[in-house]
Amino acid sequence: MVEGLLEVLSAEFQSDLADVPLPELEAKLSELLTTRLGISLTPEMQSQVGNLAHYLQLSSSLFASSPQEQDMDVELDEVLKVGQKFAFCQKMRTEMLSLSRLWP
């Protein structure tokens, strides 16, 4: 859910959320919650939007700096046998990707 909110808000601002001033992010988040989700924000909920906006800014920085998982384009059972130990390294990944492109 956090990643989905990050994607929507990043698209709205067309920039990294870490670069968006917090009051602007809070306003856009409130707008999205009320217009897109149809939520009536009570005063208590509105006070929490600021906390959520701050959390999303921090999360945006963390997601940007964390390595993203990549698919190897190869089914694991095609390269490993039952009982075989698995050690992954970049060279092995490159070789597997090269080999996988040889077969349709």
Q: Between the CA of residue 104 and those of 21, 47, 52, 73, 100, what are the distances in Å?
A: 49, 55, 46, 12, 8
**pTM score, whole prediction:** 0.54
- Given a contact cutoff of 8 angstroms between Cβ atoms, the answer to whether 22 and 50 are in contact is yes
Cβ neighbour number for residue 91 with a 10 Å cutoff? 8
pLDDT at 23: 92
Rounding to the nearest 10 degrees, give the CA dihedral for residues 86, 87, 90, 94.
Answer: -40
Q: Which tens digit of pLDDT belongs to each residue from 58-99?
A: 888 776 655 555 566 767 677 677 776 666 555 556 666 666
Q: Which tens digit of pLDDT belongs to each residue from 84-95?
A: 666 655 555 666
